[in-house]
Chain A
Amino acid sequence: MKRGTPDTAELERWMESWYAPAYRTACLVLNDTTGAEEAVQEAFLRMWRFRDTMPEGDAARPWLYRVVVNTCYSWARKEWGVDGRRAPSASLDTLAESSPGPDEIAVVGDRAGAVRAALARLPEALRVPVVLRYYAGLSEKEIAVAIHRRPGTVKSRPHEARRLLSADAALNAFAEEKEGTQ
C-alpha cells in the first residue's frame, strides 16, 4: 500500500481486500455482528487516519488485525462494561457441561452456530489467538504483533484453545464428521 497524500481510491482498495476477512474475524472474536461492523468500521477509519505510519508489504496484515483486535476490545469494553481483555473465562468442566449436546445441535442443524458458541465460551486471551491462527491464517509471529504479546506467549495459546475446544463433545463430533466428508 502506498504512503503519501490522501487518496480515496486507496481506501477503496483496502476495503476490497480486507473488509470481508476483517469483518468475519471481528464476528468470531466478538460473536456479535453489530459490534463487529462497528469495530471494523472504526479499524478502517483508524487505518485511514494513520495510513502514513502503516507498514508496507507483508507487515501490513498483522498491523490490520492488530487494529481490528484493538477496536474489538474497545467495543467490548464500551458496550459490555467490562475489560475486554478480562472476559470471564470458562473452565474446562463448565465448557464441556454447558456445550449443547449432539442431538440438540443436530436438531438446530447449525454446525457453524456450535463453533461460534464454543468460541464464545473460550477466554478472550485464547479466543483471539485461535481466531487469528485458524481463521485469519496468521503465523505465530504475526499473531504476536497483532495482540501485542511475545511470540513465546502466543505459541501455547492456540494449542491450549484447541485442547479446551476438544472437550466440547459436539464440536468433536462435528470435526470428525467434517473430516469424514472431506
Chain B
Amino acid sequence: MITDDELEALLHEAGGGFAVPAEGPAAIRAAAAPPAPDAPVVRGRFRFRELALAGTSVAAVVALTVVLLTSSGGTLEQLPPATTAGNGTFSNVQASATAPAPLAAVRRSASSPAKSAMNGTATKAAIGRDIIAKGTLRLGITRAALRRDVARLEALAAAFGGYVSAADVAETGPHPGGAIVVSVPAASFSALIARAEGIAKVKSLSTSDTDVTAQVVDLGARLTALVDERNQLEVLLSRAGRVSDLLAVENQIEYVQSQIEQIQGEQRTIAAQVDYSSLTVDLVVSRPHVSSSPNGFGHAWHEAISGFVNGVKALIAHLGDLLFGVLSFVVAALIVFGLWRGVWPRIRRRIA
C-alpha cells in the first residue's frame, strides 16, 4: 500500500506539473477593481442607486401609511370604552366589549404579536413560510361554571378538528381552576380564539408567531447531506475487503443513521407544531369580592387612588399615540423631501 509520504510526494509532483497561468491574477484584479469614477453613464436609464432609493422610499411610505391607518383605527375604537367607563384596567375593557363584539374589541386592545397571530394563518398561506402560532387566553369564570366551561373547550377542540393536548384542572380545593391546552389545525386558530373568548369573561389574551422556516430549511439540508453521506458509506461498505474495514464503515453508517433519525424526529415535531396551533386557556375562578375597608372613607380613598392611576394610564396612552403620529409625520416628510431633492431634478432634466 502506498505510504503517506509516497502519496504526498506523488501529489506534489502532479500538482507542481500544472503551470500557474500568468494572466490569472490580472483577471482577478480586473474583476475586483471598482468601476472608474469617470466611466460614462448610460443615458436613458436610471441608475441602480436611484431606482433603489425610489423603491425604498415608496415602500416606506406605503408601510407608514398602513401603520398609521391601523394605529388610528385601533385607537379610536379602543380608547373610548376605557375612558368613558372611568376604568382603565384591561379586564374591564374586555368586559364592556364582550357582549356586542368580543373578538373585535380584544383584537384591537391586544398587543402587536396578537395581531400578527390573528393574521398568521393567512400570512403563512400567502408567503409559504413555516410559522408556529401559540396563544394564551385567561378566562375569568365562576366555580359553578368550571366544569361546564371545560366541557365547552373540549367540544371546541373537537369541533375544529383538534384535541386537548394537556389539561390540569382542579374543581375543588382552595385554588379551583386550571389550564387546558387546545391544539387545532393552524387554519382554525383564529376561529378557535374567537369562540373561546365567548365562553367567559376574557381577562387577557396574548399570542405569538414564531417563524421556523430557516430551521426547517436547515434541517432539510442537513438531512440531505447525511443521506448522501450514508449512501457513500454504503458504497464503501460494499467494497470493504477486510473485517476491520467492514466494522469501521458499519459503525460510521450506524452513527450517520442515528443522526438522520434524530433530524427526522425534529422535522416531525416542527411539522406538528406548524400544522397544529396551540391555545393555552387559563381558567381563573373569581373569588367573591370581600371589601377590606367597609367604611366610606376607605372606599373613597380606594376610588381616588384607582382614578388617579387610570388617569395617568390614559395620559400615557394618548401621549404615546401623539408621539407616534409626530414621528411618523417627520419620517414621511423627510422621505418626501429626499425624493424631491434627490430624484426629481434628475427626472426633470431627463424630461427636459
Contact = CB atoms under 8 A, between A and B. Distances in A.
B10 A175 contact: yes
**B interface bracket (residues with beta carbon within 8 Å of A):** 35 or more
Contacts of B4: 134, 162
Chain A, interface SS category: helix
- The 8 A-B pairs at the shortest CB distance, nearest first, are namely A115-B14, A175-B6, A112-B17, A24-B15, A166-B1, A112-B14, A27-B18, A135-B11
Interface string B5-27: 11111111111111011001101
Interface of B: 1-18, 20-21, 24-25, 27-29, 31-34, 228-229, 232, 235-236, 239, 241, 248-249, 252, 255
A145 B228 CA distance: 18
Given A41-B27, A175-B2, A175-B7, 14 more contacts: A11-B28, A24-B15, A27-B15, A33-B21, A41-B28, A45-B31, A45-B32, A115-B10, A116-B17, A134-B11, A135-B11, A176-B6, A178-B10, A179-B6
A48 B248 CA distance: 41
A25 interface: yes
A12 B10 CA distance: 30
Interface in A137-182: 149, 152-153, 156, 160, 162-163, 165-166, 171-172, 174-176, 178-179, 182
Interface stretch (A74-82, A85-93, A98-106): A85-93
A85 B11 contact: no
A23 interface: yes
A72 interface: no
A156 B7 contact: no
A11 B255 CA distance: 42
22 contacts: A8-B29, A11-B28, A15-B25, A19-B20, A24-B15, A37-B24, A41-B27, A44-B28, A89-B232, A91-B239, A92-B241, A111-B13, A112-B17, A116-B14, A153-B252, A162-B2, A171-B10, A175-B2, A175-B3, A175-B6, A175-B7, A182-B9
Interface in A34-72: 36-37, 40-41, 44-45, 48
